[in-house]
Amino acid sequence: MKHTLTACGMALAAFATTASAQSTVAITGGVDLRVLHANDLNSVETAGSSRSNLTFTSSEDLGGGWRALAVLNHRFRPDDGLLNQGAVQSAGTTQFWRHSFVQLGGPLGAVRLGRYLSPLQEVNGAYDPWGTDTAATTHVGGINSGSRYNNLVEYRAPAFFGIQAVAAMATREDNVNGAASGALAPSKPAGVYVRYNSGSVDASVAWDRNGDGRKTVGAYGSYDFGVAKLWGQFEKGDIAPTGSTINSIGVGRPSQAGVTSVKRYAASVSAPVGAAVLKLGYGFFDEEQVHKIGVGGDYFLSKRTNLYVNVAKLGGDNTTLTDVNRKVRADIGIWHRF
């Protein structure tokens, strides 16, 4: 009997070990806070809506190269503990505003269902050395691309010689910004990107159609020389309707007769110096008549914790730029990931 119980115990232990190796659940996230001076005001807030978050990831190896994945990502504002539903730092009611999806993947690629970034927004943030965050970011913003779509169905092709392709489409339901739950958008949001990432070269092209039927195209690239890395962004998109005029750096688009689209450009460089990374960037919003220069850097205390400081300046002929908007803005903060 003793031998039988011992054998059973060993079998259960082996089964538990195998099960734990095949299925994992991880809790990750980060907390970021900065002191920001902008438009003659001082505030304490997170430097980007994605920096302070709590993420639950479940992954299971199904065998034969197939894997199931589920992700829930919750954003919050560490300065007051409220939910963070967007880069404007407004408090919302959606618990998992950033990501909530399930995915089944294998040798033929992966299918993802739920709420996730549009394909264009997934890649464009990868070509800004500030990661679309802080006072100095020169991110071109996706123009009219929805940052995330609800009820998304996405196919992610397997990588082939450094090439990755992703295509997605969402339902019309719940894809109208600011509308009540169940509202139907005029169009089904859709998008696609193709990305080549191998060695020092990283380049992408992307297309997006939002729920209003407005389209955005983008081309992005970076090259790592080792001593420095160059970054570039270009986007062109249909103009927003009257009243929807705020661009990614917080400036309105002035009324311009005959303008049917807008173009945005950005070029940046980053350079590692010991435990620090120095950054310099310039963004130009063509028909919106505004430009921005940003400079700053990170100092890494460890792989998971860094200090940062950034300075930026807006300029141009944009009629919505006031004297206060044109003053230098700056932030200093700390970001810890876990």
The closest of 270, 318, 276, 316 to 294, measured between CA atoms, is 270
pLDDT digits (tens, 9 = 90+) for 94-132: 566 688 999 999 999 999 999 999 999 999 999 999 999
Q: What is the mean pLDDT of residues 233-241?
A: 86
pLDDT of residue 5: 39
Predicted local distance difference test score (pLDDT) of residue 146: 83
CB 285 within 8 A of CB 314: no
- Write out the DSSP string of 73-112: EEEB-TTT--B--STT----S-TT-SEEEEEEEETTEEEE
Whether residue 89 has pLDDT greater than 50:
no
| Nearest by Cα to 75 from 100, 96, 101 | 96
Phi, psi of 123 (to 5 degrees): -90, -30
* Averaged confidence pLDDT in the chain: 87
Are 276 and 300 contacting, i.e. CB atoms less than 8 angstroms apart? Answer: yes
Domains of the chain: 35-337 (2.40.160.10)
- State pLDDT tens for residues 260-303: 788 999 999 999 999 999 999 999 998 888 999 999 999 999 99
Residue 181 has what pLDDT? 63
- The set of residues, in sequence order, having a beta carbon less than 8 Å from that of 187 and lying 6+ positions away, is 172, 209, 210, 211, 212, 213
Per-residue pLDDT, 144: 85
pTM (two decimals): 0.85
Quick: pLDDT tens for 52-71: 999 999 999 999 999 999 99
Q: Say what percent of the chain tops pLDDT 90.
A: 65
